[in-house]
């Protein structure tokens, strides 16, 4: 089991550019989560999916953020246009649901200059 795989590990981009973060969940996991970690706000839930369907996107900061899950093995988080305040570490996690714990990827560190 390779665990949750995120790419890229690091992304540096200029303000105004589009950024796409990618995630491959653990096979068989029905739930997929996108979190953002900052010093000020800690780990914030942005959006989560169940069986590829977005269930709760109330944590998505604004319309510049969008997430998709076209199939059970792939999800993207897109920021367009990016801003310096989007700089953070973005984590993807998956789980079986119920009381099973979340399994996190190693994150993507995004820097917007």
Partner 1 sequence: DQQVKQNSPSLSVQEGRISILNCDYTNSMFDYFLWYKKYPAEGPTFLISISSIKDKNEDGRFTVFLNKSAKHLSLHIVPSQPGDSAVYFCAARDDKIIFGKGTRLHILP
Return residues touching partner 1 (CB under 8 A).
4, 33, 35, 41-45, 48, 56, 91, 93, 99, 101-107
> Is the Cβ of residue 71 or residue 99 nearer to partner 1 in the bound state?
99
> Is the Cβ of residue 12 or residue 15 nearer to partner 1 in the bound state?
12
Least distance in Å: CB of 106 to partner 1? Answer: 5
Least distance in Å: CB of 45 to partner 1? Answer: 6
User: How would DSSP label each residue in 69-81?
Assistant: EEETTEEEEEESS
Least distance in Å: CB of 81 to partner 1? Answer: 27
User: How would DSSP label each residue in 17-71?
Assistant: --EEEEEEPPTT--EEEEEEEETTTEEEEEEEEETTEEEE-TT--STTEEEEEEE
């Amino acid at each position: 089991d390779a665990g949750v795989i995120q790419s890229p590990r690091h992304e540096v981009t200029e303000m105004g550019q589009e950024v796409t973060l990618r995630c491959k969940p653990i096979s068989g996991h029905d739930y997929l989560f996108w979190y953002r970690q900052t010093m000020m706000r800690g780990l914030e839930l942005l959006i989560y999916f169940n069986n590829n369907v977005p269930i709760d996107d109330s944590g998505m900061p604004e319309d510049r953020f969008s997430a998709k899950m076209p199939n059970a093995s792939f999800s993207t988080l897109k920021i367009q246009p990016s801003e310096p305040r989007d700089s953070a570490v973005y984590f993807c996690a998956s789980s079986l649901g119920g009381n099973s714990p979340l399994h996190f990827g190693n994150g993507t560190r995004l820097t917007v200059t």
